[in-house]
Amino acid sequence: MSNIVTAYLRIRKTNNTHLSEGEQENLFRHLVNYHGEFGSYWVRVLKKYRQNLKCLDIQYGCGKTWYEDASEYITDNSEVEVVTRKCNEGGLDTIELTRFKDGKETYEIRERLCTYAFDKIMIFSDTNWLAEEGADKDTHYSAILDVAGTYHSANDKSFVDVWRDGTPLYEEEYPYDYFVLTETDNFKFTAPAFLVELQENNFSRMPNHSKMILYYKRRKVALLMKNYDKIEVSTADYWDNCADETCQDW
């Protein structure tokens, strides 16, 4: 398989009014598009309207990206904003923003690397190897480090709950709001400095048979484990811990 791209869309009107049920359905049926038809390439299709944020969230596999003017499916001529996070297999997540009105593109923030946030680290090891950075012992085998930071990662959902036995790519009752840590080979700390340095030095300070769990508002967003001098990383990033400026007013 190639060109499997997991696309996460967040769509809203810029005038802070709700998308109607008809607008939600039209946006869903036309933006979830593979080769010109409703469909997804090896990524399960998810849809949820968030009443408190007045936005529609969609996940699907777009393959080679298909572009649609979202304003075509807005009935009251409001300007509509589409924020897109994408994970192209083998690369880091990117993010971009486009606004449309009356069949025209009105504003754009071009594609760039997406930054994710964490606000606490749990360390599991025989030794408190981050004591100098402020980690406090919690139990004999664990410590807590209250530190905020950021990173780049890859949240590839290709083949997750997708089977060859005819299972539909979209089911209304599929549980949307669950977060599964998914293994990735693409992860890069961007702050704080001591974690950037730790990674640049190939995690040599981190003991074998230990792990770090990164949290954001008590949700696990990343797991780093070291065994036999090898680091394994899993992530579960979403809109809630997206630190890009395009998401700051959501």
pLDDT at position 18, please? Answer: 98
Taking 60 as the threshold, does the pLDDT of residue 242 lie above it?
yes
pLDDT in tens, 130-149: 999 999 988 889 999 999 99
SS3 of 91-122: the string is CCCEEEEEEEECCEEEEEEEEEECCEEECEEE
pLDDT at position 168, please? Answer: 63
The domain ranges of the chain are 5-114, 116-241
pTM of the model: 0.92
Token pair listed for 40:
């997804």
Taking 80 as the threshold, does the pLDDT of residue 125 lie above it?
yes
CA dist., res. 113 & res. 26, Å (int): 29
pLDDT in tens, 71-105: 999 999 999 999 999 999 879 999 999 999 988 88
pLDDT in tens, 204-221: 999 999 999 999 999 999
Write down the mean pLDDT value for the chain.
90
Taking 70 as the threshold, does the pLDDT of residue 176 lie above it?
no
Phi then psi for 234, rounded to 5 degrees?
-130, 145
Q: Which fold has domain 5-114?
A: Alpha-Beta Plaits (3.30.70)
Where does the pLDDT of residue 67 fall: very low under 50, low under 70, confident under 90, or very high at 90 and above? low
Token pair listed for 9:
């869309």
Taking 70 as the threshold, does the pLDDT of residue 11 lie above it?
yes
Can the peptide bond before residue 192 be classed as cis, meaning omega within 30 degrees of 0? yes
- CA distances from residue 155 to 10, 103, 106, 148, 208 in whole angstroms, order as listed: 16, 31, 29, 20, 26
